Amino acid sequence: MSHLPIKWAERKDRVFITVEAMTASDVHVTFQEKTVSISGNGVTAKGSEPHTLKGELHLLKEIVPEDSTFKVLGVSIQICAMKKDQGYWNRLVEEPTKLTKSWLSADWNLWKDEDDEAEEDAAASNFGGYGDMGGMDMASMMGGMGGMGGMGGMDMESMMASMGKGAGGDSDDEEMADSEGEEQADDECEKSEEPAADISDLNA
């Protein structure tokens, strides 16, 4: 029995099945719990002319038929079958590898190991946390910057007036000091103008 040339890959929740058939037409894919049936017309490695496509895959484990889909591209038929239970199969079909290696192979363009997928999930989760800046409220942050711009709500006019008043106070103190100095100097001048003691007093 001939088989369609197929490549496959998997994730923990689905399997990707690619039928290598170009210019496929009248394609029908039927999903059952452990079977995927494919029919139609197209060109495969068997020849350069369109011919009938017919194949049936007996899957290793169960899928969810109603959630599984397919699409026809210019160079292939792509099937996405959703797994009933999450987990890695490591094989697509029930038949042993030695009986399928002539028509079934890994699709390295889609393949990811279980460890790779876990790392991707973790990276996506971490990036999401970084992307929203750890839940920081940008509006609140900008509001805080606005408060800083206003110097904590300080009234600039009052501050300037206070500074002016302080400067004026220093000026008044200086004027008072100058006045006191002038009065003291006047007193000293008045004392120097008093008449000298009489010479007779000195002889007494």
Tens-place pLDDT, residues 111-143: 887 777 777 666 555 544 444 444 445 454 455
Tell me how far CA of residue 153 lies from CA of 148, 165, 195, 199, in angstroms. Answer: 8, 21, 68, 78
Q: What is the mean pLDDT of residues 70-75?
A: 95
Q: Where are the beta strands (DSSP E) in the chain?
A: 6-11, 14-19, 22-32, 35-43, 51-58, 69-72, 77-82, 104-106
Which of 3 and 196 is assigned the larger pLDDT?
A: 3
Highest mean pLDDT among 96-105, 107-116, 195-204: 96-105
pLDDT of residue 46: 82
pLDDT of residue 126: 54
Which of 55 and 127 is assigned the larger pLDDT?
A: 55
pLDDT of residue 123: 59
pLDDT of residue 193: 43
Q: What is the mean pLDDT of residues 50-57?
A: 95
88 pLDDT more than 70 = yes
DSSP string computed for 88-143: --S-SBSS-HHHHTTTEEE-TTT---HHHHHHHHHHHHHHHHHHTGGG--HHHHHH
- For the chain, the maximum distance between any two Cα atoms, rounded to a whole number of angstroms, is 160
SS3 of 12, please?
coil
For residue range 165-195, list pLDDT tens digits in order.
554 545 455 555 455 544 544 444 444 444 4
Q: What is the mean pLDDT of residues 99-105?
A: 94
147 pLDDT more than 70 = no
Residue 8 CB-density burial (10 A; 0-12 exposed, 13-18 middle, 19+ buried): buried
pLDDT of residue 198: 43
Domains and their CATH numbers in the chain: 6-95 (2.60.40.790)
